[in-house]
Structure 1
């Protein structure tokens, strides 16, 4: 081949590459890691540390690279999964937030966490022992601390149960404080920054080192109905083969001492169980019976 022709072909190939743009690195590579977004169920630093440890274990098991982050609120994760291209490929959303993401077609459940041997949990209403508040009917005129507007146990179910006994949260509560995490709700009630709050059972135990008398000073005055646990969800853009490999790896990791410790640090997960979207159907029926639609609560 003549030198002039060879140079021409090289230049042509280079121009074609430049015009078409560089090819994106494969998902799961170091250049394009799988982004796993968490939400702050407890202290953000603790969740972040546990999440990163799990990601490291997953990398060792699968060879894929992962990038973890802890969003400040549930909506942030849903929006990240809704962007094009998605800014989050995996998530660990609580029940209601997952249903919203699933309704948008940006998340599909693969694993549900197990705590204390159960894939479901309950929320609880808490207040100061000497507050005089004995039941939900006493909430009128009080300041309510919630985790987040989309927190299942920290707001959605408590809101439904308030309405069931005639308390309209918008009209009857003095104010609503967005605490940002279950730990912070307990702290707000403990420090009398809120009269009453809602968390998962029993978020108080996470603050016993900080407030040794929290279990005595902050009391539970009601427990909600069963709620499906949080878990692991995938964006549809994640290939089935990759998803299956990650799921298998997580089910293996959670059986190890190091893996169990990491998952417990992040989210107090004792185990993981394979459950798909249908696992959340009974909760959808609860929302339907209450006349609530996920999208309406986003507006």
Structure 2
């Protein structure tokens, strides 16, 4: 996304994108013309002088309605701990949270990695990372390549998953009773690592990613680190033109990409870690139908960020409440359902420089 794109985004969707409104509604707003003359460093803010409510924004990892329901227990815990009403909302896409945070319409945001890097670039003085996500002991994750066609496999699909071992994507086998020894929780397993009673175990196989040439590939969206940027970089480095050698299909969410492969709308797809878990309740055989065929390089995990002008004690309390909540049985179950989070560590903005560098190498910010 170019800097010009961010300016247009602010001009035409400062309010509507963050709240899911229509573009037509924004055009009719009298304030749109004023927003055009503002800089990215100094956008309009709707923050009230007295903090009597916190607004927490989330990007879509699943269908918006389902995710909106899933975040409510966490909002209740934050409200009780802070003594302030905390309202959660799900933006229509990654850019929506960027605009909401930069304009002051949201106070806290759960960003994917690239989304936060984009937000820092657009609003360098307005956002502050307070936590980075831990998933099953790991501070990083990866994108996974998927297929519904076992004939593309070089090896017979087995219960297993991929892990980067010494920088090399390696297929690690498991069994019906033993989860593969990888960091990411797999589709046929509970968040505590025990086998699930009804969800089938997930299959994986080795395959050359060149099998994707000439085929439809389901991506998340261009703002997704694991669902577009890193997979595209990997294809590019293999000599595959990720725009012309394949047919890109953008689904808008990770479960959308998995569903596209599961339903046969596309032969291949990419999404984070084992995103098959996102549709396992309605499709318990997803692990057998959608097969992992490879992974990307490691990506720094998601981030929770706040408006930099929030009171310091509020920032500290938000981190403490969320960190303690995710350590409880209820919190672990809720966070696993939302994004697959299992813990939090403190974070600083500088930790995401590596993703910024990758985006710049990819030409994402070229004018």
TM-score range, shorter chain: 0.7 to 0.9
Query: Which sections of structure 1, spanning at least 5 residues, go unmatched?
Result: 1-22
Cα distance in 1 for partners of 2:257, 2:217 equals 9
TM-score for both structures, normalised by structure 1: 0.82
Report the Cα offset of residue 93 of structure 1.
Answer: 0.7
How big is each residue's C-alpha offset from its partner over 1:199-231, in whole Å with a ceiling of 9 and x where there is no partner? 111111332332232222211111111111113
TM-score for both structures, normalised by structure 2: 0.68
1:99 maps to which residue?
117
CA, structure 1 residues 249+293, in 2 after alignment: closer, same or farther (shift >3 Å)?
farther
Report the Cα offset of residue 232 of structure 1.
Answer: 0.7
Cα distance in 2 for partners of 1:254, 1:212 equals 26
Cα distance in 2 for partners of 1:216, 1:252 equals 36
Structure-to-structure mapping, 1:180-199, within 5 angstroms: 180-199=252-271
1:71 aligns with 2:91: yes
RMSD: 2.0
- Name the SS of the counterpart of 2:333 in structure 1: helix
How big is each residue's C-alpha offset from its partner over 1:264-298, in whole Å with a ceiling of 9 and x where there is no partner? 2222211111111122233334334xx225444xx
1:167 maps to which residue?
240
The counterpart of 2:107, out of the listed 73, 84, 89, is 89
1:59 aligns with 2:79: yes
How big is each residue's C-alpha offset from its partner over 1:75-97, in whole Å with a ceiling of 9 and x where there is no partner? 111112222xx111111110101
**Equivalent pairs, count:** 266
1:137 aligns with 2:210: yes
CA contact (8 A) 1:155 1:198 kept: yes
Greater shift, 96-105 or 207-216, is seen at: 207-216
How big is each residue's C-alpha offset from its partner over 1:57-76, in whole Å with a ceiling of 9 and x where there is no partner? 01111112111111121011
CA, structure 1 residues 191+80, in 2 after alignment: closer, same or farther (shift >3 Å)?
same
1:45 maps to which residue?
65
1:26 aligns with 2:50: yes
- Name the SS of the counterpart of 1:170 in structure 2: coil
Structure-to-structure mapping, 1:213-232, within 5 angstroms: 213-232=285-304
Report the Cα offset of residue 119 of structure 1.
Answer: 1.3
1:265 maps to which residue?
337
Cα distance in 2 for partners of 1:52, 1:212 equals 25
CA contact (8 A) 1:49 1:266 kept: no
CA contact (8 A) 2:150 2:291 kept: no
Cα distance in 2 for partners of 1:120, 1:204 equals 18
Q: Which protein shows a greater Rg?
A: 1
- Name the SS of the counterpart of 1:68 in structure 2: strand
Q: Which has the higher helix share?
A: 1
2:167 maps to which residue?
none
How big is each residue's C-alpha offset from its partner over 1:116-167, in whole Å with a ceiling of 9 and x where there is no partner? 1111111100011346373222222211111111111000100101100111
1:247 aligns with 2:319: yes
